[in-house]
Amino acid sequence: MSVRRFTKHYETPGRVASAARHHAWLVEHAPPLRLPALTVVGPTSLTYEWIDGRPARTEDLPALAGLLGDVHGAAWTTDLRPAALNRPHRFRDGIAFGDYIGPRQAALRRRLEQGYLPDRGALHALLTLLEKTAEGPTAFYKDSNPRNFIITEAGEIYTVDTDDLTLAPMGYDLAKLIATLVLTYGPLPAPTIDSALRAYNEAAVRHDPQLGITDRERLDDYLALHAVLTAPYAGRNGYRYSWLPRPCPRGSA
């Protein structure tokens, strides 16, 4: 019986090396994650084992929240304890993945240019909020969204599309998952979000008591950031709902 594979292509060898390095880092430092095995590293491609399953749905949120809390706790205890949110995290070979602040400052400024923010005052408020959230133990961000989890028929959860990692505070990637579930399936009841947050904190705190720090106010701060950062993707890639109005064309009222 042949084993099915999936090959992903990249523009440059550097992108291949970065994606392979991030996959290896997760295997080593976030062992609760199930990742498709990386079987072949080519000059401009990576080949993985194929996983049959479906993308995540709203009812999967509690299990996914617990998984994220578990992997963030594991990564903090094995590698990220000394990491700072305002500078890149370096691997043993000297290569780094991105910090929390810099890429998001740049993205928020682009949202103003694209018309997703009304004025510079709104940009300043969000940049201030971003700085406010850059505190506490450091986790990682892997763009948790429904398409980046595969749920098998047996109920196993696989995580895919781990090419780009950055640092992030505890709970930030959970907020991205919640935000993109809302974009995909519509609003979530407040008790559902609260239950997911409890599952996340309970899983994280099992690794260290100081990791269960994400409260609802902090989660809402992250959600406010994600609402703007994800605004350009509404109506694309299965995101049928929007948290923000469409931008006004330049020069219009």
Please write the tens of the pLDDT for every residue from 87-140.
Answer: 988 877 666 788 999 999 999 999 999 999 999 999 999 999 999 999 999 999
Q: Which residues are registered as beta bridge partners of 138?
A: 169
- Give the pLDDT score at 250: 38
Angstrom distance (rounded) from CA 88 to CA 101: 10
Spell out the domains of the chain, with CATH numbers in brackets. Answer: 53-233 (3.90.1200.10)
> What residues contact 157, with CB distance under 8 A and at least 6 apart?
34, 60, 63, 64, 67, 149, 150, 151
Q: Which pLDDT score is estimated for 246?
A: 44
Coil, helix or strand for 26? Answer: helix
pLDDT of residue 93: 63
pLDDT band, very low/low/confident/very high, at 244 (cuts 50, 70, 90): low
Nearest to 51 by CA among 150, 148, 147, 145: 150
The model's pTM is: 0.92
Note the pLDDT of residue 90.
83
Cβ–Cβ < 8 Å for 18, 160: no
Given this model, what pLDDT does residue 4 score?
A: 87
pLDDT digits (tens, 9 = 90+) for 37-67: 999 999 999 999 999 999 999 999 999 999 9
Contact 172, 229 (CB under 8 A): no
Q: Of all residues in the chain, what percent carry a pLDDT higher than 90? A: 83
